[in-house]
Amino acid sequence: MSHLTLHNLTIKKFNEGFRNKEFSAFEIAKEFFDYIEETDQKVGAFLSLAKDEALAQAEQADIALAKGEDLGDLAGVPLAIKDNILIKGQPATAASKILENYKASYDSTVARKLKASGAVFLGKTNMDEFAMGSSTENSAFKITKNPHDYSRVPGGSSGGSAAAVAAHFCSAAFGSDTGGSIRQPASFCGVVGLKPTYGAVSRHGLIAMASSLDQIGPIAKTVEDAALLFKIINGVDGYDSTAVKANYGDELLNPQFEQIKKLKIGLPEEYFVRGLDPAVFKAMEKAIAGLKSLGIEFKEISLPNTKYALSCYYIIMPAEVSANLARFDGIRYGWRSDAENLFELYKKNRGNGFGKEVQRRIILGTFVLSAGYYDAYYSKAQKVRRLIKEDFDRAFQKVDVILTPVAPTPAFKIGEKAGDPLAMYLSDIFTIPANLAGLPAISIPVESSVSSKQSAISLPIGFQLIGKHFREADILGIGQYYEQLTVKS
């Protein structure tokens, strides 16, 4: 066994090798841990490892194979999971001091479904504290670095998960996406990231940030792997009233080329604007040319209310943050200060337990929900959200899928935007609209591209496909055929 084996180990390749008894799940899990211990000090992808539990899970997969038992789709597959998704008995810090010593008392629905499929959980990945950030610089514990260039960010808030996949520390990982937190780091790290339709995947056991926007999704080496993971985790859940049953058939994993060719892709004029890094623009042209070579038709469209999406998001999201994070007072669980009275206890716990970005968003959210400002800000933002959704509804009468950049630039330098929150927020300008409208969207690597500002550095860039509600099959299908095209070339 060698590290080279790990570098090419997609879920599909793992399944083939494992079931053909070319290697054991235990061997692979041990090899991953050895590689993580050797290399992760440079990357900082993991906050905690679950070595004993993972090796035991891998051994169970080997025993089941030896006995000829029915194996789940993920039997023995080594995965990493963002540290805001609960796995019973494992740390769940959300990268915050206030939850530094907290261990989950139950499994999230996603973890339960993955366990039932035989997955092996290697550990919990770093993130921006409570998923608030676009660079994984807001973690209370460490800064994760981009595996392609250690001086740059991996994106955020699921930067640890994207870096873990890109650095070959696991076959795939899971993150959460509130305004682009799966897709943007996937683009920066050169991997695939899927944000499902809102309600397609249960949020039970996800530490909530903004409940009307959050969605759990996979980060993988290939679109095909992302499709398999989504097939396993989607579905209705009695613990989450927003999770609905959608009719996903075989088309997720077996897209028919003749059907895919009939799909029409829209190019919104508002997403191809001045300010887009030349390297990103060039990468989008390459992706479009590749898809046109498959015979897919393109059409120019308009999403006029896109310009309000960022402002709208940064009113609605902090409002939900201020409500969701009220439960973290240090009394029932988490970090606790010494104090003489209740007011001082709350002040110390939350003042010392939350980082600056979390405090900023709680204060902003409390402000927009307060008397006198609710109608001026929050209520108005919700009305604009409806207009953004209606833009997409109209566009989808003309096209089936929409193609856009994922981010305005390739991965930026660590510290480059840390002192300017507005510049950091702009990193999500192209991903936020899909969350506001509840649509499925995926980031797919185009190529290793050269940044116009840092010509010596080769950086990954992804393109985004946005689909109709519960039509993940469309964006995954196009992605799988694009992937085959790039492999051939």
Tell whether the model's pLDDT for residue 4 goes beyond 90.
no
Torsion of CA 129, 191, 12, 170, to 10 degrees: -40
Structure tokens at 345: 């206890």
The mean pLDDT of 433-457, rounded to a whole number, is 76
pLDDT in tens, 177-229: 999 999 999 999 999 999 999 999 999 999 999 999 999 999 999 999 999 99
Q: What is residue 343's predicted lDDT score, i.e. its pLDDT?
A: 87
Question: 339 vs 432, which has greater pLDDT?
Answer: 432
Burial classification of residue 23, based on how many CB atoms lie within 10 Å of its CB (0-12 exposed, 13-18 middle, 19 or more buried): middle
Domains annotated for the chain, with CATH where assigned, are: 3-252 (3.90.1300.10)
Q: What is the pLDDT of residues 377-396, one digit of tens each?
A: 999 999 999 999 999 999 99
Taking residues 78-102, report their average pLDDT. 97
Residue 184 in tokens: 């943007």
The whole-number average pLDDT for the span 369-376 is 90
Compute the distance between CA of residue 119 and CA of residue 79 in angstroms, rounded to an integer. Answer: 7
Residue 25 pLDDT > 90: yes
Question: 69: Cβ–Cβ under 8 A, 6 or more apart, which residues?
Answer: none
Res. 13: pLDDT tops 50: yes
Rounded mean pLDDT, 285-305:
96
Cα angle value 9/15/41 (rounded, 5°): 35
Tokens of 114: 């993955």
Residue 20 reports pLDDT greater than 60: yes
The pLDDT score that the predictor gives to residue 450 is 47
In sign, the C-alpha dihedral spanning 257, 258, 259, 264 is positive
Angstrom distance (rounded) from CA 420 to CA 151: 18
Quick one: pLDDT at residue 338? 83
8-state DSSP, 276: S
The dihedral over CA atoms of 361, 365, 368, 374, expressed in degrees to the nearest 10, equals 160
Residues with a catalytic annotation lie at 82, 157, 181
Look up residue 20 and give its two tokens.
């053909």
Would you say 264 and 398 are in contact if contact means Cβ atoms under 8 Å apart? yes
138 neighbors 357 (Cβ within 8 angstroms): yes
pLDDT at res. 486? 75
DSSP 61: H
Structure tokens at 189: 């790290």
Bridge partners of 300, per DSSP, are: 267
Contact 99, 92 (CB under 8 A): yes
pLDDT higher than 50, residue 328? yes
95 C-beta neighbours (distance < 10 Å), count: 31
Of 34-43, 114-123, 253-262, 466-475, the least confident: 253-262
How is 442-455 classified by DSSP, letter by letter? Answer: EEEEEEEEE-SSST
Residue 359 reports pLDDT greater than 70: yes
Which residue in 331, 432, 338, 429 sits closest to 385, CA to CA? 432
User: Which class for 256: exposed (0-12), middle (13-18), buried (19 or more C-beta within 10 A)?
Assistant: exposed
Cα gap 296→127, rounded to integer Å:
37
Cα separation, 264 vs 52, in Å, equals 49
pLDDT-derived band at 1 (thresholds 50, 70, 90) equals: low
Mean per-residue pLDDT, 240-268: 92
82 Rama sector, left if φ>0, alpha if ψ -120 to 50, beta otherwise: beta
pLDDT number for residue 275: 79
Q: Write the pLDDT tens digit of every residue in 149-173.
A: 999 999 999 999 999 999 999 999 9
Residue 488 pLDDT level (bands cut at 50, 70, 90): low
Give the contacts of 31 (CB within 8 A, at least 6 positions apart).
Answer: 1, 3, 5, 6
Residue with tokens 């001086």: 151
Mean model confidence pLDDT for the chain: 94
| pLDDT at 334 exceeding the cut of 90 | no
pLDDT at 119 over 90: yes
* Residue 367 pLDDT class (50, 70, 90 cuts): very high
pLDDT of 455 > 80? The answer is no
**Average pLDDT of span 303-319:** 96
Count how many Cα atoms sit within 13 Å of the Cα of residue 428 in the half-sphere of its side chain. Answer: 32
Q: What is the DSSP string of 199-242?
A: TSB--TTB--S-TTT--EEEEESSHHHHHHHHHHHBS-BTTBTT
Q: What percent of the chain has pLDDT over 70?
A: 96
Rg value, the chain, Cα: 21
Provide the 10 A C-beta neighbour count for residue 464.
28
> Is the previous residue joined to 157 through a cis bond, with omega within 30 degrees of 0?
yes
pLDDT at 457 over 80: no
Above pLDDT 90, what percent of the chain? 85
Q: Is the pLDDT of residue 452 over 50?
A: no
Average pLDDT over residues 410-434: 93
Backbone angles phi, psi at 122, to 5 degrees: -75, -35
